Amino acid sequence: MIRQVLVLALVAAYATTCSMGFVVPSLPVTAVTTSRRNMVVMKVEGARMPIKRGSMVALVTPMKPDGAVDEGQLRTLLQWHVACQTDGVVVLGTTGEASTLSFEERARVLDITAEEIKGKIPIVVGTGTIDPRTVVKLTQQAVNHGADASLVVTPYYVKPTQKGLVSHFGYVAEAVDLPCLLYNVPGRTGSDIKPETAAEVAAKNPSVIGIKEATGDVSRVAAIRKVAGNKFLLYSGDDETGAEFVLKGGDGVISVTSNVVPDVMHQLMMAALAKDAALTEQLNKPLELLHQRLFLQSNPIPAKWALYRMGKIGAGIRPPMTVMEEEFHKPLEEALKAAGAI
């Protein structure tokens, strides 16, 4: 009972500190989670897993018709990825509709993820937003609920300078003890992390271990390798060019396609990492339509509809996203059939 009171006091102190805008000190790897029913604080033990090379899924968040998170289907998806040898699971990213989930809903998704796959597959949590103080709060939450690493996107809409990006990522890295992957997706954010900037952030902050490069520009592999070195992890965020990205020296892909064909995506990345160009081409060819057509409308609209069509999840999605429009059903079904998903 005394331990529970002490832990609750620490959690309350942390919340107060965040609300005042102070930098939060790092907490131990041991996670703290809270039961929704009785508010009893429990410890969830588990060492952090190193982030793997290969196929990491940018996981959708299954939802019921009313928009509530479908916890049962989330568990089923996570179990499926374990069986399919997915190399990492990224929850609460763009594909996971994190921007419309509350802090409490995020905690519940993290708890379920840890319960199902902690120690089996590395857990990477999307924690990026505009205000670095909020990024610290979300990243500390990820630590508390068993994350192995965070994925932090550039501040979107506000278009910070390269110096501003160095400051932003450094602020978060100093405040929270958790390995971090930078996330560069200028098509969505309006901000591009230059290779030299990524290298500078990593040099100043040892916890920054890699980057998700979603520019679709495979020449970035050589450019980043030149300034950041071979230990800095490079993941493509573009399925259409992901195989080529890895053949040219990347470490893997953080994939939307892996939601639909996780087993094949794992095999594809293993072939590309082995520099087996012929096998990579053989495995990737049936997926080419799928890579493209999972973006017929804004992500994750097509990915969620594809999983619905496969019988994996319901059709639920949160506003401002909507269920995929009927005119796109047949083209996506064609891609699913070509990939062997239906």
- List active site positions: 183, 212
Angle at 77 between CA 76 and CA 79, to 5 degrees: 65
CA trace torsion 262, 263, 266, 270 (10° rounding): -160
Alpha-carbon gap, residue 339 to 219, rounded angstroms:
27
Distance of CA 314 to the CA centre of its chain: 21
Compute and round to an integer the Cα radius of gyration of the chain. Answer: 19
Report the alpha-carbon distance of residue 92 to residue 290 in Å, rounded. 22
Secondary structure in 3-state letters for 173-224: HHHCCCCEEEEECHHHHCCCCCHHHHHHHHHHCCCEEEEEECCCCCCHHHHH
CB atoms within 10 A of CB 310: 14
Question: How many other C-beta atoms can be found within 10 angstroms of the C-beta atom of residue 202?
Answer: 25
By the 8 A CB rule, do 8 and 42 touch? no
Instruction: Give the whole-angstrom CA distance, residue 56 versus residue 123.
Output: 9
Determine how β-strand 208-213 pairs with β-strand 233-236: parallel
The Cα–Cα gap between 288 and 309 comes to: 19
The residues near 232 (Cβ < 8 Å, ≥ 6 apart) are 198, 199, 202, 209, 210, 211, 224, 225
Distance CA 54, CA 236 (A): 10
